[in-house]
Amino acid sequence: KIGGASQTISAMVASEQIADYLQIKRGDAILRMRQVTSFEDGQPFEYVRTQYVGNRFEFYMEK
């Protein structure tokens, strides 16, 4: 069974490679999200790292 997940969201500037992927300029502001999901026993089974252009997304979080 899934036990839970932890997420970290931080602001950063886009590297040249990330800017190219996101079709923005190098140095533009982006949001980076990292998430680790674990089973009930604490063993992680999923790691996600994504980058978002801030003005293209809206985050909704519910606990």
Residue 13 maps to a domain: yes
Question: What are the CA-CA distances from residue 16 to residues 31, 43, 59, 62 (Å)?
Answer: 15, 34, 25, 33
Residue 51 maps to a domain: yes
Number of domains present in the structure of the chain: 1
Residue 10 maps to a domain: yes
Residue 12 maps to a domain: yes
pLDDT digits (tens, 9 = 90+) for 9-60: 999 999 999 999 999 999 999 999 999 999 999 999 999 999 999 788 888 8
Range of the domain at 10: 2-55
* Cβ atoms within 10 Å of 4's Cβ, excluding its own: 10
C-alpha 15/C-alpha 8 separation (Å) is: 19
Residue 60's pLDDT is: 83
Residue 44 maps to a domain: yes
* CATH code of the domain in which 49 resides: 3.40.1410.10
